[in-house]
Structure 1
Amino acid sequence: MIRWIWAFLDRPAQRFDDCATFWSTVTATQLSARRGANDEFLTLMPEPALFAEAGVKMQAVTGLGGVHLDLDVDDIPAAVRAALDLDAELVANHPDYAVLRSPGGQMFCLTPSGRPKGTPAPAVRAPDGRMSRLDRVCLDIGPTDYDAEAGFWKSLTGWEFRHGRSPEFAWLRPAEQLPVHLSLRRLGEDRPASAHVDVSAGDIDATAAWHQSLGATLVRRHEHSIVLSDPGDARYCVIARDPNGI
């Protein structure tokens, strides 16, 4: 059973500070102390007065970066065996966590559950009063791999699977209150699976404009979403969805 899920934003080391400032601002969080052998990790911490638990971490990496998932579980060896039985690949097995790759190529980690988690952070109020929340990781999957990859994540999480209003989208929603849900997007071309984050917003135009004022760049507009890139050139989406609906 997945006790908690983390959206892990991997960002280029040379732009990491700008990315950390950007994501801290748009999620109304504080940057934790840096940790790791090279001070490469940090957590976006909700304001203490909210009595809420963090759900987003960041890592400075070489190369372009991206997004991966950390899944907190009670028994890491058992979870690794279950993932391998579902055709995942073990990339690294550390004493206190494991790094794996899904059948389609998406990296994720199995991490110790630790202390019980509480309530996810609430939606964020922008300076103009509009609400938004980073609440999903979208898995981008090529058409050839889609059925196998979707089946893998359905089985691994045990979450409810639902089709979206567009045929290329589906959702995985946990029964428990967790900070991040998953969506699955069927791409129009084959390539290894990857991921990006989605920000739910009541007003996508206002939220996108706020993000652009903080250093994001507009990529394209759709009817119900806006694609942006952050200061590290990583793409993400602002989605027309109730940010209080997690």
Structure 2
Amino acid sequence: MRVRWVTGFLDSPTSEVESFWLAVTGTTLSPRRGDGAFATLLPADGDAFLRVQVIGSGRPGSHLDLHVDDVPAAAAEAQGFGASVVSVQSDLVVLASPAGVVFCLVRWDGEAVRPAAVEWAGGQRSLVDQWCLDIPAVDHDAEVAFWAAVTGWERRASDLPEFSFLQGDASLPLRFLVQRLGDGAAGVHLDFACDGVDAEVARHVGLGASVVRRVPGDWTTLRDPLGREYCVTGRAPFRGRG
């Protein structure tokens, strides 16, 4: 399959955390749809790639949508690589990877323009640009092979042995970072790229986040007001055209 676009979903029991994510990403909220469960975080420029979903109960989490030309054909291909079908709906197919990471295949609607980073009052720029797949060691190698096959993206090593990257076309808004865990369940979280981590972390904390751990010079892990973990990393964010 060809992945035309990638969307990251923030799944929350209520909508109360959405104001936090609007503030930290510098986006605005679209009209709600799907009986009020869904909305899109609209960037100031480019095409949207972040959405929110009210799930009504359970813990906050995240999932990915891969946008493709032909959803049934892509679903059959993903199953051939080891995915299992969770549900089939009128306009999407929900699947799970071999390690249990849930994702959706949806129809591509022409999204093509990657948004640029937002510049903040502190002088730093930031942008969500990475979805981290957190995979237990026992499943790691097979899971990396699965996602490389499904996306067709190039795998690149990191300077840290527990991380590797899957990078698609440069026009796509999100790349994948695969993290090898010691144990635990597979999951995903989002990462911000930022050229001023300390100022960016302070901004997030001022908006209601809490710091979990700091890795000086590399990244800081935070929790949003509902306890969902994500990271602010010291990587140059995408500047946009011009």
TM-score range, shorter chain: over 0.9
- Say which of 47, 54, 65 aligns to 1:53: 47
Which residue type is aligned with residue 90 of structure 1?
V
Residue in 1 aligned with 2:215?
A: 222
Residue in 2 aligned with 1:33?
A: 31
SS in structure 2 at match of 1:90: strand
Question: Is 1:83 the equivalent of 2:81?
Answer: no
Residue in 2 aligned with 1:117?
A: 111
- Say which of 41, 62, 65 aligns to 1:67: 62
Which residue type is aligned with residue 230 of structure 1?
D
Structure 1 residue 12, shift from structure 2 partner: 2.2
The list of structure 1 runs, each at least 4 consecutive aligned residues, that deviate by more than 6 angstroms after superposition, is none
SS in structure 2 at match of 1:150: helix
Residue in 2 aligned with 1:23?
A: 21
Which residue type is aligned with residue 8 of structure 1?
F
CA contact (8 A) 1:106 1:192 kept: no
- Structure 1: runs of 5 or more not aligned: none
Which residue type is aligned with residue 157 of structure 2?
H
- Say which of 133, 137, 156 aligns to 1:139: 133
Deviations 1:165-219 (A, max 9, x none): 1000000111241111111000011x33100000111111110000000000111
In the alignment, the residues of structure 1 paired with residue 68 and residue 98 of structure 2 have an alpha-carbon distance, to the nearest angstrom, of 20
Question: Is 1:93 the equivalent of 2:88?
Answer: yes
- Say which of 183, 195, 198 aligns to 2:188: 195
Structure 1 residue 28, shift from structure 2 partner: 1.1
CA contact (8 A) 1:126 1:210 kept: no
Tell me the TM-score normalized by structure 1.
0.93
Which residue type is aligned with residue 133 of structure 1?
L
Shift in alpha-carbon separation, 1:245–1:142, aligned structure 2, 3 A? farther
SS in structure 2 at match of 1:205: helix
Which residue type is aligned with residue 27 of structure 2?
T
In the alignment, the residues of structure 2 paired with residue 54 and residue 22 of structure 1 have an alpha-carbon distance, to the nearest angstrom, of 17
Q: How does 1:165-184 map to 2 (within 5 A)?
A: 165-184=159-178
Question: Is 1:243 the equivalent of 2:241?
Answer: no
Deviations 1:112-165 (A, max 9, x none): 112x22311110112212111111100000000001111000000001110111
SS in structure 2 at match of 1:23: helix
In the alignment, the residues of structure 2 paired with residue 53 and residue 28 of structure 1 have an alpha-carbon distance, to the nearest angstrom, of 14
In the alignment, the residues of structure 2 paired with residue 205 and residue 102 of structure 1 have an alpha-carbon distance, to the nearest angstrom, of 35
Tell me the TM-score normalized by structure 2.
0.95
Question: Is 1:44 the equivalent of 2:51?
Answer: no
Deviations 1:76-125 (A, max 9, x none): 111111111111110001121100000000000000112x2231111011
